[in-house]
């Protein structure tokens, strides 16, 4: 499908699907800005347009081509048909003071500063996961949300995935697993970059200096932009920070877990040593919650132990087993009770534009819509959303601590009250990454 066909097809179904939810949020009509107009930025924003009568006022991105394309798509999808204004610097966008809420879907190293600035500007925020690249950033983000009394929803939309809500409410909360002693979480996707292309000059449409921002300035490489930046630890926290956070956060939400007592991790680049990527291809992490251990594993090589669940979680109880993923869940009880299976419902008839939208994960779209509705309800009530910034901080920090454990080669005992690793000065120094000048690291 070419771009013109995509815009036309998207416009065809938007009026009916958006109108279905307009009445619920009719008294809000929020003015919206988006910072980061790449893949998931558009996915998030277009789902918001589907469920509420928002007006997208501003878009911001450091890639001129990506920014222009996003402006055209938004104009074709929002009710007013207006093309949003575009900005290359989020600070100038916020200075206009004409927004009610902002969505942030930049690379991970660019989450903290815009989110804090938006809170200081009096805006409510939807920020993608993981919320930060270091623990101190995350702590500062929570502090900013609380100080300025802002509603901040994190893009851990497993908490809003309809079939997972059902599994939590009808299987876990009803005690059908009995006592749960172990949860395994995992990802076996071959998602790590395997290329080793030469470094080059950045493309003319990309402001690479601004794209890099507070991160270390690496020579530009085509793996970095767009979407390939997750191959490098300079911009994120590897597959643990990208995929484990979803499953760990989901488990914490499903069975009401807070901070783990201890985190340990091991792994590294054990198989694919030729790629330019510097994230691990193999890693195991154990999050010790006392009477319950949550154990993560990823491999970017080999076969998944269960082809139906290559990315998911398995809850082991003394009365049964529950497997969950973005696509389905399976409850297998011990004894004579019947197993239960559910599949995701993609809502393609209700939201026909989902059928033709470029790069949309159609099976995830219902969860994003529900997540956006929860965000708007929290804004209306001034309450906490289901994926409040503090919950995002806990799940993000746990993943960061797992990487620090692997780096240091030892387990880390976490003091949740002090937000420090107990008795480990070296580890605590790593809770804060250096920022590249002139950018200044936020403090709580």
Helix (H) or strand (E) holding 71: helix 64-77
Cα gap 244→401, rounded to integer Å = 12
Which residues are registered as beta bridge partners of 124?
101
Cα gap 385→370, rounded to integer Å = 11
Average pLDDT over residues 349-373: 97
- In this predicted structure, what is the pLDDT of residue 26? 52
Question: Which residues contact residue 224 at a Cβ distance below 8 angstroms, ignoring those fewer than 6 apart?
Answer: 218, 231, 232, 235
Could you read off the pLDDT of 196-208 as tens digits, one per residue? 999 999 999 999 9
Residue 179 CA, distance from chain mean position: 30
Fold of 160-346+391-429: Dihydrodipicolinate Reductase; domain 2 (3.30.360)
Q: At residue 101, what are phi and psi to the nearest 5 degrees?
A: -150, 160
β-sheet with 85-87: strand ranges across: 85-87, 55-60, 31-35, 101-104, 124-127, 152-154
Could you read off the pLDDT of 81-128 as tens digits, one per residue? 999 999 999 999 999 999 999 999 999 999 999 999 999 999 999 999
pLDDT-based confidence at 398, cuts 50/70/90?
very high
Fold of 3-159+363-389: Rossmann fold (3.40.50)
- In this predicted structure, what is the pLDDT of residue 27? 62
pTM: 0.93
Report domain extents, the chain: 3-159+363-389, 160-346+391-429
């Amino acid at each position: 499908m070419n771009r013109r066909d995509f815009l036309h097809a998207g416009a065809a179904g938007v009026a009916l699907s958006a109108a279905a939810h307009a009445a619920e949020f009719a008294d809000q009509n929020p003015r919206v800005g988006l910072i980061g107009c790449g893949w998931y930025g558009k996915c998030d924003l277009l789902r918001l347009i589907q469920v509420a009568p928002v007006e997208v006022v501003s878009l911001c991105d450091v890639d001129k081509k990506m920014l222009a394309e996003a402006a055209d798509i938004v104009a074709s999808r929002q009710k007013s048909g207006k093309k949003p204004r575009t900005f290359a610097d989020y600070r100038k966008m916020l200075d206009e003071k004409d927004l009610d809420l902002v969505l942030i879907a930049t690379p991970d190293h660019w989450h903290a500063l815009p989110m804090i600035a938006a809170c200081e500007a009096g805006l409510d925020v939807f920020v993608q996961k993981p919320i930060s690249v270091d623990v101190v950033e995350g702590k500062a983000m929570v502090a900013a949300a609380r100080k300025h009394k802002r509603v901040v929803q994190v893009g851990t939309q497993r908490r809003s995935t309809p079939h997972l809500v059902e599994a939590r409410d009808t299987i876990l909360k009803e005690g059908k697993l009995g006592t749960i002693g172990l949860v395994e979480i995992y990802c076996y996707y071959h998602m790590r970059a395997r290329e080793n292309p030469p470094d080059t000059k950045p493309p003319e449409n990309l402001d690479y200096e601004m794209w890099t921002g507070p991160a270390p300035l690496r020579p530009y490489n085509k793996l970095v932009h767009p979407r390939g930046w997750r191959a490098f630890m300079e911009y994120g926290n590897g597959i643990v920070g990208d995929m484990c956070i979803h499953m760990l956060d989901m488990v914490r939400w499903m069975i009401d877990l807070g901070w783990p007592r201890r985190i340990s991790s091991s792994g590294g680049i054990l198989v694919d040593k030729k790629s330019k990527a510097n994230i691990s291809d193999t890693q195991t992490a154990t999050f010790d919650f006392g009477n319950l251990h949550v154990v993560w594993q990823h491999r970017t090589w080999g076969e998944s132990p269960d082809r139906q669940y290559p990315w998911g979680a398995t809850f082991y109880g003394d009365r049964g087993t529950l497997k969950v993923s973005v696509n389905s869940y399976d409850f297998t009880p011990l004894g004579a009770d019947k197993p239960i299976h559910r599949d995701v419902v993609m809502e393609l008839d209700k939201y026909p534009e989902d059928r033709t939208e470029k790069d949309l994960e159609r099976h995830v779209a219902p969860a994003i819509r529900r997540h956006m509705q929860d965000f708007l309800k929290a804004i209306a009530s001034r309450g906490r959303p289901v994926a409040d910034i503090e919950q995002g901080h806990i799940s993000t920090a746990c993943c960061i601590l797992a990487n620090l454990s692997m780096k240091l080669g030892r387990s880390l005992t976490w003091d949740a009250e002090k937000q420090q690793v107990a008795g480990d000065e070296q580890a605590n120094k790593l809770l804060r990454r250096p920022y590249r000048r002139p950018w200044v690291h936020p403090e709580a």
